[in-house]
Chains A and B, each alone.
Chain A
Amino acid sequence: MGFIREITKNRQLYVLAIPGMVFLALFSYIPMFGHLIAFERFQPVKGLFKSKWVGLDNFKFFFGGQDWLRVTFNTVYLNLLFLIFGIGIALILAIMINEASSVILKKISQSLIFLPYFISWLVVSLMMLAFMSSDGLLNQWLQQIGIHEINWYQSTKLWPFILTAVYVWKFSGYFSVIFMAAIVGISSEYYESARIDGATRLQQIIHITIPSIRSVIVVLMLLGVGRIFFGDFGMIYGIIGDNSILFPTTDVIDTYSFRALRQLGNFGMSSAVVLYQSVMGLVTILLFNRLAAKIDPDSKLF
């Protein structure tokens, strides 16, 4: 009864929420039924409920090979690299920009550093071609200083670091905006009294700035860790595409399941991979939410 009374009482408000709820249901909740396909040999003509049930076959196929270890490792490893270097370098940049006393330098550098955030991964991928293709700028520079050229798009081992560098390039601006917002909120009294005590700039940074924005750092880290099993599809597929030479170090769960679906048409295995990813994702989020509550109650996510 309470439910119906609430709905009728605030019916106008609930009407406002209907379109949003419809789209949430259509594109997030109803598709969850798709996880059932992980247990079927799905045939699009027969549909979700009439395809043949095959139990755990899809999972046996996925976990029977070496692929699952590789894509899981790559996903976690790349995400960790992105998280540590992405946040670390953005933090250093934000502190440095904040310390700068020249307003013009501050404004210009902020604008330039934030710019890459606004372009798509495909554009980034083309920019990388200009530097790393066989006649690209990097090889030209290497030649000029007398070092043998590198065949970048075939040097599998280098790619975790190349991708990290690109990630840092694209997201430092974004993260440093977050850090700067937190830094300007620090009361200037702390710095004044530290100065009176004779603290150097570096000491002030280490003992005042960083501890004061600790919770922002923790929240960003936790958000990243919560999504550690989810690769950035747009980034990896945009840059690597179907260059299978680089798959050993760059193929992540998301690109793997995409290829299973779009190129192999293997709905069943693709679903099994996605379900595996969702379960791992859910477990990490629950786990780290608890951890967050312990480390820093303010940064609990829900």
Chain B
Amino acid sequence: MKNEDLVLRGKPVRTKIRNDRSWGEKAFLWLMYACIALFSLVCVVPFWIVLADSFASEASYLKHGYQLIPSEWSLDAYTYLLQGDQLLNSYKNSLFVTIVGTVLAVIITAMFAYVLAHPKVKYRNTLAFLTYLAMVLGGGLVGFYIMVSNWLHLKDSLWALILPYLLNPFYAFILVAFYKSLPYEINEAATIDGAGDIRLFYKIILPISTPVIATVSLFYAIQFWNDWYLSLLFIDDYKLHPLQLMIRQLISNLNVSAYVGGGASYQVSAPSSAIQLATVCLTIGPIVFLYPFLQKYFVKGITIGAVKG
């Protein structure tokens, strides 16, 4: 737990001796600073472009193409998007999948991981191996497709976007690592009190694992929010498109106004580039908004995973 705190706070690890730096050392240091700054800049510029150009007017696009700072600002893309039903539908779908998916996934994964980590369970290593094997091999595209669409009949159902991701082996192993680090005495104390394993799990284990559970929840939430593979495979109905698929549709669909605008009430032609970017802004908005929080918990989760291998 100590390491990740250090990573987060950005504490200098070693005691610095400042006075005996040679000229070469200094130049080396400044070169490093320049590289870091440049790379950081490259990382954010695309975000800036998406934001700025989503407010560019169609005329500005026709004249100048994409720009670092649009020459003419307008809110057209957003008003256009908000007039139609597609954005609202997609937002609802993405929210439903993310919230329901994350809650179910966390409960199922936490219970499963607890069993994998429990020293009393004789077959825990067999289970862990089966889980690992599933992670590296998977079932193969065709079998998976037939399972979901023909056997479970989940084609054009939002559950097709939720159920397949409810147990992510990688996240399960993060929880296993955490449960294994808990002192065994917790179990013994509760057993003496006569509590069964299920009660023990819900009353004691789950409450003390809130920080790790929070981390894993965020991992899952991002996964559900960003996924478009499952919706590409199983969702054809426009009304059920989540945000990610809406973006894809906007990239490939030439008839943007019919897709986004719904009815034909809006006479002016749709500002298509700006609409794409505005949709992206609204999609990554929640992520950027929650970013400080996300970053903190992700660093924690990745560090646990990295330290335990």
Contact = CB atoms under 8 A, between A and B. Distances in A.
- Our verdict on whether A and B bind, yes or no, reads yes
Interface of A: 6, 10, 12-17, 19-21, 23-24, 26-35, 37, 44, 47-48, 93, 96-103, 105-123, 125-127, 129-131, 133, 135-137, 140, 169, 172-174, 177-178, 180-186, 188, 191-192, 195, 200-202, 216, 219, 226-227, 233-234, 237-238, 241-242, 254, 257-258, 261-262, 267, 270-271, 274-275, 278, 281-282, 285, 298-299, 301-302
Nearest to A97: B36
Interface in B23-44: 24-25, 28-29, 32-33, 35-37, 39-44
Nearest to A134: B65
A119 to B, nearest CB: 5
B177 interface: no
Given A122-B251, A123-B247, A126-B280, A178 B302 contact: yes
Nearest to B131: A24
B6 A178 contact: no
Report whether over half of chain A's contact residues are helix, strand or loop; otherwise say mixed.
Answer: helix
B115 A14 contact: yes
A300 to B, nearest CB: 9
A130 B46 contact: yes
Instruction: Please name the 4 residue pairs, one residue from A and one from B, whose CB atoms are nearest each other, closest first.
Output: A34-B143, A31-B139, A135-B65, A20-B112
A216 B306 contact: yes
A129 B144 CA distance: 32
Contacts of B95: none
B196 interface: yes
Report whether over half of chain B's contact residues are helix, strand or loop; otherwise say mixed.
Answer: helix
A15 B115 CA distance: 9
Given A115-B288, A126-B276, 13 more contacts: A10-B118, A16-B198, A20-B167, A47-B150, A103-B9, A105-B37, A116-B46, A118-B284, A121-B228, A137-B66, A137-B68, A192-B15, A233-B229
B50 interface: yes
A125 B280 CA distance: 11
B43 to A, nearest CB: 5
B309 A298 contact: yes
Nearest to B250: A126
A270 B141 contact: yes
Given A37-B143, A107-B10, A261-B141, A112 B43 contact: yes
A23 B108 contact: yes
Contacts of B307: 181, 185
Interface of B: 3-4, 6-7, 9-17, 22, 24-25, 28-29, 32-33, 35-37, 39-44, 46-47, 49-50, 53, 64-68, 108-109, 111-112, 114-116, 118, 120-123, 127, 129-132, 134, 136-148, 150, 152, 163-164, 166-167, 172, 196-198, 201, 222, 225-229, 232-233, 244, 247-248, 251-252, 276-277, 280, 283-284, 287-288, 291-292, 294-295, 298-299, 302-303, 306-307, 309
B142 A184 contact: no
A32 B137 CA distance: 9
B139 A30 contact: yes
A23 B109 CA distance: 10
A99 to B, nearest CB: 6
A20 B140 contact: no
Contacts of B302: 174, 177-178, 181
Contact of A29 (B64, B134, B283): B134
B44 A112 contact: yes
